[in-house]
Chains A and B, each alone.
Chain A
Amino acid sequence: EVQLVQSGAEVKKPGESLKISCKGSGYGFNTHWIAWVRQMPGKGLELMGIIYPDDSDTRYTQSFQGQVTISTDKSFDTAYLQWNSLKASDTAMYYCARRGVYSSAPYDYWGQGTLVTVSS
């Protein structure tokens, strides 16, 4: 069974760092794109960036470039989303999702989400 299991909810203060995780199982982790998707309270889905674990090809949507870092550890079939200095505006639910490599591949499996709350 394909699963993406994300790390638990986090409460942080502005300026703190954070790294959340997404562990894949039940499929070839290295040969599927992993995306991180932000959903701010009451808002829609925003694709932040993607990573291809096999060669670590990483791409960011322009508005998230330089604001977060996406990485992967192939030995643990895990992808990460990292902030060096959180802002209150980073408060949101964050989802990881996987996608195959063919052009029409959808995001077919999603993690359960990690709620990040940034408040002083």
Chain B
Amino acid sequence: QSVLTQPPSVSAAPGQKVTISCSGSSSNIGNNHVSWYQQIPGTAPKLLIYESNKRPSGIPDRFSGSKSGTSATLGITGLQTGDEADYYCGASDSSLSVLWVFGGGTKVTVL
């Protein structure tokens, strides 16, 4: 059971919007930024969002992030078949010696 809680799966039709939630606590999301990772099947995870709402170079603005209190949200608009992947949230965690925690992951299915 992960410290950060995500829904196991979400789905929507092409062109629609999905949101993925990530719930934590004061030791992680409540006092630190959140990052999001996309893992397309058979590939390594890739950074999608950092510092809760910033996109690395090359990430389209269809992907957005937000944070409020001890929760964060990843939004994907204009859903494409290529967005079908697993998405993980992550955050610094001051209560852990490894200083970090990942969520359990959410499978996005494009119907």
List the interface of chain A (C-beta within 8 A of B): 33, 35, 37, 44-47, 49-50, 59-61, 95, 97, 99, 103-104, 106-113
Among residues of B, the one whose C-beta sits closest to the C-beta of A43 is: B105
Bound-state Cα–Cα, A45 to B103, Å: 8
In the complex, identify which listed stretch (B19-27, B75-83, B94-102) lies at the interface while the others stay far away: B94-102
Report A-chain residues with C-beta under 8 Å of the C-beta of B100. Answer: 35, 47, 50, 99, 107
B99 touches A50 (CB 8 A): yes
- CB nearest neighbor in A for B46: A110
Interface size class of B (residues with CB under 8 A): 20 to 34
Inter-chain contacts of A44 with B (CB < 8 A): 2, 86, 88, 102-105
Q: CB distance B44 to A112 under 8 Å? A: yes
A interface SS class: strand
Q: Which residues of B contact A (CB under 8 A)?
A: 2, 32-33, 35, 37, 39, 44-47, 50-51, 56, 86, 88, 90, 92, 96-105
Docked complex Cα distance between A83 and B95 (Å):
27
Closest B residue, CB atoms, query A106? B35
Task: For the complex, give the distance between the alpha carbons of A46 and B102 in Å.
Answer: 7
- Give the docked Cα–Cα distance between A108 and B48 (Å): 9
Determine if B45 and A45 form an interchain contact, defined as CB atoms under 8 angstroms apart.
yes
A95 to B105 alpha-carbon distance, docked (Å): 16
Bound Cα distance A60, B99 (Å): 10
Are B50 and A103 in contact, with the CB atoms below 8 A? no
In the complex the two chains form, is A111's CB within 8 Å of B98's CB?
Answer: no
Please, which residues of chain A bring their CB within 8 A of the CB of B50?
Answer: 104, 106, 108
Collect the chain B residues with CB atoms within 8 Å of residue A47's CB: 98, 100-102
Give the one of A37, A44, A59, A97 with max B CB within 10 A.
A44
Contacts of A35 in B (CB 8 A): 98, 100
- Nearest CB on B from A4, distance (A): 9
Q: How far is the CB of B111 from chain A (nearest CB, A)?
A: 21
In angstroms, Cα B99 to Cα A25, docked, is: 24
CB distance from A67 to the nearest CB of B (A): 14
- Verify A110–B98 contact, CB threshold 8 A: no
A15 to chain B, nearest CB (A): 28
Closest Cβ–Cβ distance, residue B36 to chain A (whole Å): 9
